[in-house]
Structure 1
Amino acid sequence: MQVESDDPRPPYVQVADGLRRAIQTGELAAGTKLPSGRELAAEWGVALMTLQKAVDLLRSEGLVYSQQGRGVFVAASGDHAPQLNVRDLQESLDDLRRRLEVVEHHLDIADKPMN
């Protein structure tokens, strides 16, 4: 599978369409782990960021889901939201907490009067 340079669709859309087609035809069955991002990027002849954007599109459509540390998997038909485990949820909360602390720090600095 390769991105076609004469195709008017952006490369990430071409990749997403190809993977979507493979999912819909059963070539990639529910529960199947997708190859790594680097492998898929090489297979399609695109940059890793382009491949990631395609996977993000499929994730937003509920066709694939990610499991941290394990990879990206084809969702079962009708699965539109990945199951979160407590560990993943805690990691997400910790990340948000760190980001909020940075924002609050910047706000504190901005509120201090300059002498």
Structure 2
Amino acid sequence: MTVDTNDPRPPYVQVADGLRAAIRTGELAPGVRLASGRELASQWGVALMTLQKAIDLLRDEGLVYSQQGRGVFVAADGKVPPTDELTALRETVENLERRLSVVEERLQASDNRRR
């Protein structure tokens, strides 16, 4: 698993193609956590940013998904499973929206009293 300097494809595309092939052949099965970014970058002989660009490409294709603090995982049949973290994030955003609304109402009331 190394990048071929004679290959006309950009290095990140070569890495993405290699990981994509491993996913499609089952070498990397659904639910499997990929090695860390640093480990994969070292294995492929590329910079961490190059590897991240390859992972971003695979994420855009629905082949992998990330979980904050846990890593990057192979998606099942190209579908990213819903996570508790996603639900928690949605709840946090909704809570922040409610709190912002209260702050905006108070600011408006304060402005009206000054007039």
1:71 counterpart residue number: 71
Partner of 2:48: 48
Q: Name the CA shift for 1:89/1:27 in 2 (closer, same or farther; >3 Å).
A: same
Structure 1: runs of 5+ lacking an equivalent: 98-115
Partner of 1:2: 2
Deviation at 1:90, TM superposition (A): 5.8
Report deviation, 1:51.
0.1
1:34 maps to a residue whose letter is L
RMSD: 1.9
Alpha-carbon shift at residue 33 of structure 1 (Å):
0.2
Normalized per residue, the structure richer in helix is 2
Paired-residue identity, %: 70
Question: If you compute each CA radius of gyration, which structure gives the higher value, 1 or 2?
Answer: 2
TM-score of the aligned structures, taking structure 1 as reference length: 0.74
Instruction: Give the TM-score of the pair, scaled to structure 2.
Output: 0.74
Deviations 1:40-66 (A, max 9, x none): 000000000000000000000000000
Measured after TM superposition, the shift of residue 83 of structure 1 is: 1.9
Distance 2:48 2:90 in 1: 26
How many residue pairs are counted as aligned between the two chains? 93
Q: Distance in 2 between matches of 1:33 and 1:47?
A: 20
Q: 1:78 to 1:58 in 2, by over 3 A?
A: closer
| 1:60 partner amino acid | D
